[in-house]
Amino acid sequence: MANVDIRQEDLEVPLKRGRWLVVLKSPIFMVVPILLSILVYTQLPANVDYEPRATLAISTGAIALWVLEPIPFSMTAILILILLPVSGAVSMDLVLSGFASPAIFLILAGMMLACGLEQTSLGKRMAFQLLYWFGEKRGGILAGIILIPQIMAIFIPAAAVRTTMLLPIVFSVFSILGIEKGDVQGKKFMLGAAIGCNVSGTGILPAAIGNVVTVDLINYYLKQHITYMDWLILSLPLWLILIPVSWWVLNRTFPKEEKVPKGLKKEMKRLIVELGPITAQEKRTLLILTLVFVMWAMEDITGWPPVIPTFIGVILMATPGIKIANWEKLLDIKFGPLILLAVTLSLGRALFETGAIKHISQWLENDYTLYLFSQPALSVLTVAILTQLIHKVTSNVSTAVIATVPVVISLAQHAGQSSSPLLLGFTAGITCLFGFLFVVETIPNVMVQQTGWVTQRDFIKPGICLTIITTVLTYVLALTWWPWLGYL
């Protein structure tokens, strides 16, 4: 990419800044979860048996570690993997059961598929093409930045992967336009990247780990299966509305007039030409990705869960004669997210099998909560607000899902036939994607903030607006779309 200065240092965590504070906080943040675990274990009512007592204590400590983050998320997951069976709270088979979930293999296959896509110029070509079409229109650059991850979401699971692919493209735009740190347009475009990547997981089941965890929990707790098309149909209006709404909110909260960027279209055209004509490799990649998408959509007909089409796509990418990517490179993935996801699923099962969730729902159950959960539309609004509040203090989507979905399902079951446990579990799961207010709520927020182009303060105004809007939209769906589909 000639003349395009992609500042790689902007993608790295500013380690030196505040290092002394991290060193000071880490020991304290390790002690607090231990104290919380001890407090929960010793202060629970006497009628709570040992297994749920120990499971709740370990879960509390683990959630505190995920919130405070003195150690990596996956390291906390391995601690859970050790503590649950060693304490005698659950069997080793149950602790390892999460690793056998189709959800793990779906994310694994999706990451391999993304590795194959990254070995071609297809993703970059689509991004440049979008910016070519929209770039010189007023507000077009922001629209392009928000739309790019929406298209990526169809084929690339995990918002972190999409964010990693999007940021260099955003920095290319900055270099072309001469945007510097501190510029209002730079802040707006960076927040567009974070919000766009968060929203991009809404409608596509494999596009967010939180979605996969939610579906697994619903299947395990309720023995009800949500297909790819079920998720898409339920969430489609919310997803389609949030794309232009996100653009509108960012333009309203960063009202500085955006100059029409003359020359950007020409530069994008040059970069597209520099990539050359679409190659046979890219055409084969596009064909495979389309085939995978079609097979996902036909789950009701074929009976194949999404993991099977995804692995078919991976195999095709490395098949001699097609050969989009080397098999060894497809295996070059990070296993930290997989460990975190597997242990999160196991923890959800442990909470259910030991009866810990039953105790939690009984403690929360009173005339007021039963009333809220007995009113279909009101219960959706209650769950959306409750999930947003819990999500504000949890630093990853999987943690928020495991902290809300099981409890919501249990409360809905106790509320009687007027409340839909499946739909409320879905509401809690999808709301966990909408972390717009605080940096720590989602990985895309963290990745964008760590570039140094935006601060926590920059998230506040658009974050408040989008949090309110998503909550209201969810309630409107509960009054309209979901009853029309027969879910309420």
In order along its 488 residues, the chain shows pLDDT tens digits of 334 444 444 444 333 444 444 444 567 778 888 999 999 999 999 888 999 999 999 988 988 887 777 888 788 889 999 999 999 999 999 999 888 888 788 878 888 888 888 788 887 888 888 888 877 677 888 998 999 999 888 877 778 778 888 888 888 888 877 888 888 888 999 999 999 999 999 999 888 888 988 998 899 888 888 888 999 999 999 999 999 999 999 999 987 655 556 667 777 888 888 888 888 888 998 899 889 888 888 888 888 888 899 899 999 999 988 888 889 888 887 777 788 878 888 888 888 889 888 888 778 777 787 777 877 888 899 899 988 887 776 656 777 888 889 888 888 887 765 568 889 999 999 998 898 988 767 878 878 887 889 888 899 999 999 999 999 999 999 889 998 988 76
| DSSP 3-state of 40 | helix
Q: According to the model, what pLDDT value does residue 418 have?
A: 57
Q: According to the model, what pLDDT value does residue 393 have?
A: 63
For residue 434, give Cα distances in angstroms to 68, 203, 385, 431, 440. Answer: 20, 12, 11, 5, 12
Q: According to the model, what pLDDT value does residue 446 have?
A: 78
Quick check: 446 and 400 in contact, CB under 8 A? no
Q: According to the model, what pLDDT value does residue 474 have?
A: 92
Residue 9: count other Cβ atoms within 10 Å of its Cβ. 8
Integer Cα distance of 164 and 81 in angstroms: 29
Assigned token pair, 103: 């959800």
For residue 181, give Cα distances in angstroms to 187, 332, 389, 452. Answer: 8, 34, 32, 8
Q: According to the model, what pLDDT value does residue 262 have?
A: 66
Integer Cα distance of 444 and 59 in angstroms: 25
For residue 83, give Cα distances in angstroms to 92, 387, 419. Answer: 10, 27, 36
Which ranges of 321-366 would DSSP assign to H, the alpha helix?
327-330, 336-353, 356-364
| DSSP 3-state of 4 | coil
What is the full DSSP assignment across 50-74?
HHHHHHHHHHHHHHHHHHH-SS-HH
> Which residues make Cβ contacts (< 8 Å) with residue 255, sequence separation at least 6?
none
Q: How far is CA 446 from the centre of its chain?
A: 12
Long-range contacts at 68-76 (CB < 8 A, ≥ 24 apart):
68/29, 68/32, 68/33, 69/29, 69/395, 69/440, 70/25, 70/26, 70/27, 70/29, 70/30, 71/30, 72/336, 73/336, 73/340, 73/396, 74/335, 74/336, 74/337, 74/339, 74/340
Integer Cα distance of 304 and 261 in angstroms: 47
For 1, what's the count of Cα atoms within 13 Å in the CB-facing half-sphere? 20
| DSSP 3-state of 394 | coil
Integer Cα distance of 175 and 118 in angstroms: 22
Q: Which of 422, 418, 403 is nearest to 357 (CA)?
A: 403
Q: Can you say whether residue 81 is alpha, beta or left, with left for phi > 0 and alpha for psi between -120 and 50 degrees? A: alpha
Quick check: 324 and 119 in contact, CB under 8 A? yes
Quick check: 348 and 217 in contact, CB under 8 A? yes
